[in-house]
Amino acid sequence: MRHLLQQAEIVLSAVMGGGPSTSAAAAAAAAAGAAAGRGGMHQQHGPYGGLGGGAAGDAILDPLQQQLLQLEQQQQQQLQEVMVQMQRTQQAERQKVEQKLIEARQQHIELQQQSSKIRSLLVSCEAGLAEVQRGIKELKKGETLIEQTTLTLEATLQRLVNSDGTGFDMGDLGIVDDKTYLDTKIMLGRQLQGVNGLLGKVAAGLEEAEAAATRLSLQGPSGRQVAEQLLQGCADIQLALRTQEEHLRDVVAALEAKQIACDKTMQELKTAIEAALAKYAEVLQQQVQQQQQQIMAAAEALLAAATADAERLKQQLDAEINKLVSGNVSTDLANEQLRVMQQAVAAWEAAVGHSVAAIDTLLDAAASAAASAAALPPPHVVDTSGLSQAVQQTHEVKKAIRKQRAELQQMLGVMSAQLREGQRQQQQQQMFQLQQQQQQQHQGLFSIQPIKQGPTSDPYSGYLLPSQVQQPQQPQQPQQHMPHQFMHPPQHLGRLLQHPTGFTQQQQYPAGFPQQQQHPAGFPQQQQQMQQRGSSHQPQQHPFTGGPTIDWGGVP
């Protein structure tokens, strides 16, 4: 019994004063005590008796059992509360861990974003440095171009100095006025401005990247690790930037020095060209005056010689035409004279052509000189008005020579046409004479004789032709032997004189050469006059000389 009380006290003390960790042990001890009490009671009373003792035991044990039940209920309730508290604690701890995980993930994402932004800035800085390198290369190309320009200017200046200004060429003006050097300077200035702008952008981007990397290093170990890599990249780019800046300063210094030298040479060349240009204009003025005199002298000499020879040829042609019209020359001799005159006119045309070609050479040189004078700048003016007048005079001379040639060709055409007309009339006259002779022979051959028949003669003997034809004798008339002359020119010759073939306008005869007059003399009328003997003849006006001519109606 005492043993049970001790166990109950232990349980009570455990329940009342113990924590959650001893509740299970107390419950186990209480259960063990209860089992032992029930066993003791069973051993003392036995299976058959001991009711009084059992009742006394129940009176003691019932409160204990109730207490045990209460303790068990309290223990279960405490266990439930402990379990709920533990679940709440675990859930709170899990939420804290999850929150920390979310925060860690968010921090990682932010680190990635910030590092990506910094890396983008570094990439932009590297691209800007590449552009800076290309810009510096372009500046060096401009430096080479300025060197070449300076060498060209120095060579031209040296040539002018050595020749004392006489070696000036119009192309030297193009060297001074060339806009290439000025355009190159403008281009280099723009390129240098662009390179400086790129350097400023690279420096600003690099500064921003360094500040962002520094802020990133404050965000924990991961931030420090990533920021360290980014800061190292910034340091590399910073070193490259400083190197490019130093290289750019060297290039710009050399470029400025060469540009100053080129400007100085350009100014010296302008001064030398100005002096040479004054001498050149003076020499060109003398050359223009000399060419003007040569052209005018050559044109006047050509006009005088060509006109004199043309007048002589026209007089000869006029004389030959008069001979043809008057009939004082034979056909063969007239043909020979026509050929001689054609050769003379051709020789005159060839000589005139050579002279005109020589004058054209002078005109070409004058045109070149005028072009050079026109290319001179306004302070240096060359007077070319006299040269223009000489050129105009040359055109007038050529026009007069073309007129002389047209008149000579026209007179050759008149002579040729007159000769052909004379030959045609001569052939017609010869045919008419041949017809007259054949008619006379025909009348004598077929004259009828009376037939005398004898008693013993052949009846057909009267029809036999005589062995020799007796031609009747005609009374002889005195024949007047006249020299052969050509007939008057036909009507188409007058049209030829008025509108010669090969010319677009009517040519005028020179002084002393009368115009062709039309007359109605034609072949049918001449043939009728030749058939009528003894007809009266009226004098006609000569188409070229103006004197009367005799129109012979026939030939005896």
3-class SS at 483?
coil
Query: Cα(first)–Cα(last) distance of the chain, in Å?
Result: 216
Per-residue pLDDT at 480 exceeds 60 = no
At residue 438 the predicted structure's pLDDT band, cuts being 50, 70 and 90, is: confident
Give the per-residue pLDDT at 441.
76
Per-residue pLDDT at 226 exceeds 60 = yes
Give the per-residue pLDDT at 298.
93
Per-residue pLDDT at 230 exceeds 60 = yes
302/352 Cα distance (integer angstroms)? 8
Give the per-residue pLDDT at 330.
80
DSSP string over 87-151: HHHHHHHHHHHHHHHHHHHHHHHHHHHHHHHHHHHHHHHHHHHHHHHHHHHHHHHHHHHHHHHHH
Rg (CA), the chain: 73
CB 255 within 8 A of CB 138: no
Give the per-residue pLDDT at 193.
92
- Those residues with Cβ within 8 angstroms of residue 549's Cβ, 6 or more apart along the chain or in another chain: 325, 326, 488, 539, 540, 541, 542
Per-residue pLDDT at 76 exceeds 60 = yes
State which of 65-79, 194-208, 480-494 shows the largest mean pLDDT.
Answer: 194-208
470/467 Cα distance (integer angstroms)? 9
Quote the percentage of the chain above a pLDDT of 90.
27
Sign of the alpha-carbon dihedral angle for 475, 481, 486, 487: negative
Domain range 107-278, CATH architecture: Up-down Bundle (1.20)
Cβ atoms < 10 Å from Cβ of 397 = 24
Residue with the bigger pLDDT between 499 and 267: it is 267
Give the per-residue pLDDT at 460.
37
The mean per-residue pLDDT over the stretch 280-306 comes to 91
The mean per-residue pLDDT over the stretch 338-355 comes to 93
3-class SS at 392?
helix
123/121 Cα distance (integer angstroms)? 5
Give the per-residue pLDDT at 59.
67
253/133 Cα distance (integer angstroms)? 17
What are residue 282's phi and psi, to 5 degrees?
A: -65, -45
Per-residue pLDDT at 167 exceeds 50 = yes
18/37 Cα distance (integer angstroms)? 24
**Per-domain residue ranges for the chain?**
2-106, 107-278
Per-residue pLDDT at 9 exceeds 90 = no
Give the per-residue pLDDT at 256.
92
CB 162 within 8 A of CB 275: no
- Those residues with Cβ within 8 angstroms of residue 335's Cβ, 6 or more apart along the chain or in another chain: 419
- Those residues with Cβ within 8 angstroms of residue 56's Cβ, 6 or more apart along the chain or in another chain: none
Per-residue pLDDT at 461 exceeds 50 = no
Give the per-residue pLDDT at 5.
53
Quote the percentage of the chain above a pLDDT of 70.
67
What are the pLDDT digits (tens) for 380-394?
888 888 888 999 999
Give the per-residue pLDDT at 58.
63
Which residues are bridge partners to 549 per DSSP? 540
Buried/exposed 301-312: b ≥16 CB within 10 Å, e otherwise? ebbeebeebbee
519/489 Cα distance (integer angstroms)? 9
Give the per-residue pLDDT at 243.
93
Q: Minimal CA–CA distance to 388: which of 288, 282, 280, 301?
A: 288
Give the per-residue pLDDT at 236.
92
Q: Minimal CA–CA distance to 472: which of 443, 492, 494?
A: 443
What are the pLDDT digits (tens) for 383-430?
888 888 999 999 999 999 999 999 999 999 998 988 888 788 878 888
What are the pLDDT digits (tens) for 320-345?
888 888 877 787 888 898 999 999 99
Give the per-residue pLDDT at 113.
86
The mean per-residue pLDDT over the stretch 139-143 comes to 88
At residue 60 the predicted structure's pLDDT band, cuts being 50, 70 and 90, is: low
Cβ atoms < 10 Å from Cβ of 276 = 21
At residue 10 the predicted structure's pLDDT band, cuts being 50, 70 and 90, is: low
DSSP 463: G
Per-residue pLDDT at 470 exceeds 90 = no
